[in-house]
Structure 1
Amino acid sequence: MQNGTDLYALDINGASFAQACGGPCTEGCVTLARIGDGAWALGDSKRPDAQPLRFTTEELDAAGINPARFGLNV
C-alpha cells in the first residue's frame, strides 16, 4: 500500500484515465486512473492541465468513489 507521500512519487505518464459523469458530460467529468497497487489518480476533464489528485483505494472508499463506476476494477 502507498502512503500519501509515495503517491505523488508515482509516474502517471501514460496512465489511462476513464470518465464518469453525474449528468451530461458537457460540463466536465471526473476522471480516474489506476497508477499503482492500491493507488489512484483523480482528475477533472474541465481542467486537463491541472495535476490530478492521488488517493489510495481506502481513501476512495471513504470518499464514496467507486472505481467500478468508471469501468475500473479495484
Structure 2
Amino acid sequence: MDLYAKDLGTLNWTRFCGGNQDEDEMESCIEIAPISGEGDVFALRDSKNPAAGTLRFTRSEIEAFQKATI
C-alpha cells in the first residue's frame, strides 16, 4: 500500500508533547491524525512547522514504535 498516495483532505489533528526541555516554548510536540476513510493509516507532522510535510504510518507501525520506546 502506498501511504503517500492517500489524500489527506481535512484532518483532525491531535497534539502530543514531551521531551526533557525546561522551558515550555522548547517543548517537543508532534501532531497525529487518522487519514479519513483509511481506518488504520495516520499522518504525523511537526506541530511547530506543519508546512514541512507529513509522515504517514500504519497502525501496526505506530504500535511497533510505541513498544520500542517504552
Q: What is the TM-score with the length of structure 1 in the denominator?
A: 0.71
**Could you tell me how far 1:31 is from its partner in structure 2?**
0.3
> Which 4+ residue blocks in structure 1 deviate beyond 3 angstroms?
none
CA distance 1:25–1:62, shift in 2 (3 Å): farther
Partner amino acid, structure 2, of 1:46: K
**Could you tell me how far 1:25 is from its partner in structure 2?**
5.3
Q: Secondary structure at the match of 1:21?
A: strand
Q: Secondary structure at the match of 1:29?
A: strand
- Considering Cα pairs closer than 8 Å and 6+ residues apart, tell me whether 1 or 2 has the greater RCO: 1
Which is higher, the Rg of structure 1 or of structure 2?
A: 2
Equivalent-residue separation in structure 1 for 2:6 and 2:24 (angstroms): 29
Unaligned runs of 5+ in 1: 66-74
- Alignment identity in percent? 38
1:32 maps to 2:36: no
Q: What is the TM-score with the length of structure 2 in the denominator?
A: 0.74
Give the number of equivalent residue pairs.
Answer: 61
Structure whose residues are more often helix by fraction: 2
Structure whose residues are more often strand by fraction: 2
**Could you tell me how far 1:56 is from its partner in structure 2?**
0.2
